Chains A and B, each alone.
Chain A
């Protein structure tokens, strides 16, 4: 007579697996770490003098300790910042006194392009809230993304994000992100 191997009761397997599942649910995090990537400048070299930059080439953004925004000395609002930056950084040709200088540059894959010499200087107070600082950084990033997208659409018919690496590099060279953060200092008095 053929012996049957006895089947074992598998119903408790589910409980064991549940236990493991719950253990992992509790001990792990699923937070997707997203963020804004930035590169810090190396510490200033005292022997090298900062380059002289013409006033028309700088857009000075100042965030006060009460989270208010000033662009080139005029109070403004966060919602206008993106458009302002885009307008400022768009190369104006022929030369326009109210906008930064443009220079011609030859870049692989693109040929000769007009590049703005504009620089954005971002300064914040020690009392500025982190939230406001990030919002300003975000607006700047949005502005540059839009500029790059427009440029990439015109040249390659694609968004900057979808470009192959070589083309993306060329676009990034034509439209750099010249944001410079000032050395921190107290500008709003004691805090």
Chain B
């Protein structure tokens, strides 16, 4: 009966940590695949509004963003400002911005370029209308109002 008995004192075996890096790497790859690099630092506060009938924005590399909201730094006042790329801009800068965005894309992709408007919910429509007029003038007809998805309350 004592044939299977081990000799020597019993010690609790140590947990092998060799697979721990693999687990962490898995997590790492998950995050690398599901996320995108933060491209711009937001200079404006954006509190997105929500809606029920939303679509996912596909092909993120074909989207250019226009941010509209109050500046995050309070010393810049509370007037609604437009942010293009990394700097504040005015409505007049939009044609140039769109031209740049087009220039950066392949010729074949240009017609799929979408402009996504990320606008704070308390913004007045006046500035948004101005942006839309400007986009119409330069022929950037595909737009996307960036909103979060609303869950059903009932």
Contact = CB atoms under 8 A, between A and B. Distances in A.
B126 interface: yes
Contacts of A42: 136, 139, 141
Interface string A131-151: 101110110011001000000
Given A17-B24, A28-B35, A33 B124 contact: no
B99 interface: no
B136 A11 contact: no
A137 to B, nearest CB: 7
| Of B18, B51, B133, B137, most A-chain CB atoms within 10 Å | B51
A130 B38 contact: no
B128 A133 contact: yes
Contacts of B85: none
B91 interface: no
B49 A28 contact: no
A130 B120 contact: yes
A134 B142 contact: no
Interface string A9-46: 01101101110110011011110111111111111000
Contacts of B129: 124, 126, 184
A129 to B, nearest CB: 6
B144 A21 contact: no
A159 B122 CA distance: 35
Contacts of B77: none
A128 B119 CA distance: 13
A82 to B, nearest CB: 10
Interface string B31-65: 11011111000000000010111111100100100
| Of A24, A141, A142, most B-chain CB atoms within 10 Å | A24
B35 A24 contact: yes
Contacts of B37: 27-29
B125 A133 contact: yes
Interface string B129-154: 10011011101111111111100000
B57 A134 contact: no
Given A39-B142, A127-B126, A128-B124, A34 B54 contact: yes
A27 B39 CA distance: 9
A36 B52 contact: no
13 contacts: A17-B28, A21-B24, A25-B31, A29-B37, A33-B116, A33-B144, A34-B56, A34-B147, A36-B145, A131-B121, A135-B51, A141-B53, A142-B52
Q: Which 10 A-B pairs have the closest CB atoms?
A: A126-B126, A28-B35, A13-B21, A138-B51, A141-B53, A17-B24, A184-B129, A131-B121, A33-B57, A35-B144
Given A138-B53, A145-B53, 11 more contacts: A11-B17, A28-B38, A34-B147, A34-B148, A35-B55, A37-B144, A42-B141, A128-B125, A134-B49, A134-B147, A137-B51
